[in-house]
Amino acid sequence: MFERRATRQITVGKVPVGGGAPITVQSMTTTKTADVEGTLQQIYALAAAGCDIVRCTCNEQEAAEGLAQIVPRSPIPIIADIHHQYRMALAAMEAGVHGLRLNPGNIRKPEHIKAVASEARDRNIPIRIGVNGGSLDPSLYEKHNGLTAAAMVESAMQEIAYFKEVDFDLIKISVKASNVPLMVEAYRMLADTTDIPLHLGVTEAGPPPAGLVKATAGIGALLLEGIGDTIRYSLTADPVEEAKAGRQLLEALGLRERKNVDLIACPSCGRAEIDVIDVANRAMRAFEDKKLPLQIAVMGCVVNGPGEAREADLGIAAGNKRGHLFVKGRNVAVVPESEMVEALVEWAEFINEHGTDAAIARADTSRAEREAAKDRNQLLDEKGADANHAAEKIVEIRKTVSD
């Protein structure tokens, strides 16, 4: 495992950030904040998908008034996103938000910044200094000859200096850019400069799958270096997708306890006895809303599947129109091919309740192993060790080239 960088801790509502606390997942609502019911519906969906902290825009008086009604009914802490108008930050605090995000690129008057920080200090409300590569203070852009990691870090440091003047230190920082290497460099630089907790993100990553790839590359690289205390995927998609992606990344890196199924599946090949993509997708849908913290494998053939996925809690491999179920690599049952997904769900629910040992104990493993061996041997007899006929093709290629 990797060592996490030591940072100070702040709390957003009741959620700790930094100082060794579990890394949190954030997202942002896309509704008008004045639409109280619509925004709350989205917040509930986000919380169910694993979002720990949510941000809502506070861009007008109606939004601040909406926040006053949303905050007491929200299951997770609310952060108000503030651009340009420092008065909206004051109004959001009046509404009871648990945190603020200020963009130093567009609230630039020192007296405005200090007025917000003083009020936040008195109310014990943390502020994220949210530097964004796309809206950097033009003077820093000029000084650094364009957008650089140093320019973004300097922007954050300038804001911290104003906060210090009014004795405010409940801070976290982000230095987001849409360019992944630039964002990684800026966060590394920041991590060397301060022990303030960091909020990671690749801004304007775009729609999935490219957006997911960019965000995962940037956020994942930093997390593996121990950098980062809270994360947000900025996708051009339903924000629930952002929360799911954030949660999945943290679970994949072992940084948060697994809450959902980790579905692994073989990429399929000439040996596949089923349409692996179809079965894996159907299994994914069947497990989507079942909070089962298990690793489950869908494998295309019984020749190699059970061995390749022997670490999975539960798996199924196809062979001769049958599905061979295995638990921790031990064959436990055989079902008709058409019932593979249903069988996975049934066994997963049993394992979740009673554990893998109990699942193996209840099974007729000798029979299941015998049946699996029968199908495996038959497939090997029919298709041979070279199921893709690669050896035959190579002979043909050699003939073609030498003719």
Q: Which residues inside 300-339 make contact with ligand SF4, applying CB under 6 A?
A: 300-301, 303-305, 308
Q: Are 243 and 218 in contact (CB under 8 A)?
A: no
Here the tokens at position 206 are 């775009």
Q: Which is nearer to ligand SF4, 78 or 272 (CB)?
A: 272
Here the tokens at position 391 are 């050896």
Does residue 279 belong to the site contacting ligand SF4 (CB under 6 A)? no
Q: Smallest distance from the beta carbon of 307 to ligand SF4, in angstroms?
A: 9
Here the tokens at position 220 are 């994942």
Which residue of 129, 272, 283, 363 would you call a contact of ligand SF4, by CB under 6 A?
A: 272
Q: Smallest distance from the beta carbon of 281 to ligand SF4, in angstroms?
A: 15
317, β-bridge pairs: 299, 324
- Tell me the C-alpha distance between 340 and 369, whole Å: 17
Q: Smallest distance from the beta carbon of 199 to ligand SF4, in angstroms?
A: 39
Nearest residue by C-beta to ligand SF4?
300
Does residue 64 belong to the site contacting ligand SF4 (CB under 6 A)? no
- Tell me the C-alpha distance between 249 and 255, whole Å: 8
Find how far residue 61's CA is from the centre of its chain.
Answer: 33
Q: Which residues inside 17-46 make contact with ligand SF4, applying CB under 6 A?
A: none
Does residue 378 belong to the site contacting ligand SF4 (CB under 6 A)? no
Q: Smallest distance from the beta carbon of 4 to ligand SF4, in angstroms?
A: 36
Closest of 301, 275, 296, 276 to residue 286, by C-alpha: 296
Does residue 59 belong to the site contacting ligand SF4 (CB under 6 A)? no
Residues in contact with ligand SF4, shown as a per-residue x/- string from 249 to 268 under the rule CB under 6 A: -----------------xxx
- Tell me the C-alpha distance between 269 and 336, whole Å: 21
- Options 25-33, 295-303, 363-371, 373-381: segment touching ligand SF4 (CB under 6 A): 295-303
Q: Which is nearer to ligand SF4, 80 or 379 (CB)?
A: 379
What is the dihedral sign for C-alpha 244, 245, 251, 256?
negative
From residue 167, alpha-carbon distances to 130, 254, 358 in Å are 19, 37, 58
Residues at the contact surface with ligand SF4, assessed by CB under 6 A: 266-269, 271-272, 299-301, 303-305, 308
